[in-house]
Amino acid sequence: MGVSEPQVLRSFGGATALPPHAYLIALRVEVADLAGFSDQSRLTRHFKRMTSITPGAFARMAG
């Protein structure tokens, strides 16, 4: 018995509250932050989209 792509996407979204691509981007932002890549423009754009602040502002708040 197979599962259709829309079923997989709905199940994934139900389990994570995010579609797969948004989940992947969230993981990349977390990993990039942990690895210290907060100065890259692409990371900055995605980070700000997800958190509403830039990585630099986040770093200042984190101390």
Predicted confidence (pLDDT) per residue in 6-60, tens digit: 999 999 999 999 999 999 999 988 888 887 776 678 778 888 998 999 988 998 9
Do the domain assignments include residue 13? Answer: no
Name residues whose C-beta falls within 8 Å of residue 40's C-beta, 6 or more positions apart in sequence. 32
What is the pLDDT, as a whole number, of residue 38? 64
Question: Encoding tokens for residue 51?
Answer: 């958190």
Question: Encoding tokens for residue 8?
Answer: 């997989």
Number of domains comprising the chain: 1
**Domain encompassing residue 27:** 22-63
Do the domain assignments include residue 51? Answer: yes
CB 50 within 8 A of CB 26: yes
pTM above 0.85, yes or no: no
